[in-house]
Structure 1
Amino acid sequence: MSRASGPLDTGTVTHRIDQGDFSVQLTYWTSDNAKQYTAASSKTVNVAAHIEDADSTHRVKITTFQVIQDDNAKRTVVTTDSGQFDVTPPYPYNTVVSLPAATAGATKLTLTIRLDLLVETAPKSNSYYRSTALDTLTLPLLTNGAAR
């Protein structure tokens, strides 16, 4: 049997998360051979987030970027980046996530990505509302180094 295909098998995948009248576009990519991921292997995923369908007069900030890894036996907070990261178009948010080893025998990793956003209510008002964007990325794993 072969392992299930995964979203990073071609190296990159893009997800769009609607947030009312705008959307967050998340692009994931890796220079790893994702088809060879095992529970123990090193895994590095690049993430770029940018805002679409919004004008550049309403400021948008990411206050939290978090990745949680779940291998069906253990959940791990991989990274939490907190601050005031301006992603008002055309500015993106970019980061690199190094995933820890999973539990031996795991057949997949599910990454939950959370972005807490502050969206300006009116241009130059310095008044914001909070919006949370959630996404998941599932990475299939080879078991015992062989296709399963």
Structure 2
Amino acid sequence: MINYKISVDDEEFAFSEEQTSQLDLLELEAGKFHVLQNNKAYRANVLYSNFMDKTLTIEVNGNSYQVAIADSYDQMVEEMGLSVNTSQKVNEIKAPMPGLILDILVEVGQEITEGTPLLVLSAMKMENIILSQGDGVLKSIEVAKDDAVEKGQLIIEME
């Protein structure tokens, strides 16, 4: 069973849960990894990550790659034709994971569109830029810089 489809630049790879658990991967420090694959060593650095749209920019042995991850749920939605990207009005934006607010990139009253960077959330020693998933006007920002947030906590309210 394919659990993950991973697109790296223009190539697509499929991995099962078992294959991912067998990766020989060691985190050296935040966002920096040592990987062994087929008796070859690789240095991998996470340069950018966006948890909401499951994308990463990874540098491996000095080469940069754009990576997109689709889990089994994402694949099912795609197969059903439900992944149409239409802008929608969003009322609440909640923290996708526990972490620390490093920066707020928007202001109350600002009109935003889908994909607008809203804030920077540090989680698991990586910086994640939280993007708007729809259009709207910022009604309130419920967090401040340096606030700790829990997964699912309301961070921005829109109208």
TM-score by length of 1: 0.25
Which structure shows the higher helix fraction? 2
TM-score by length of 2: 0.24
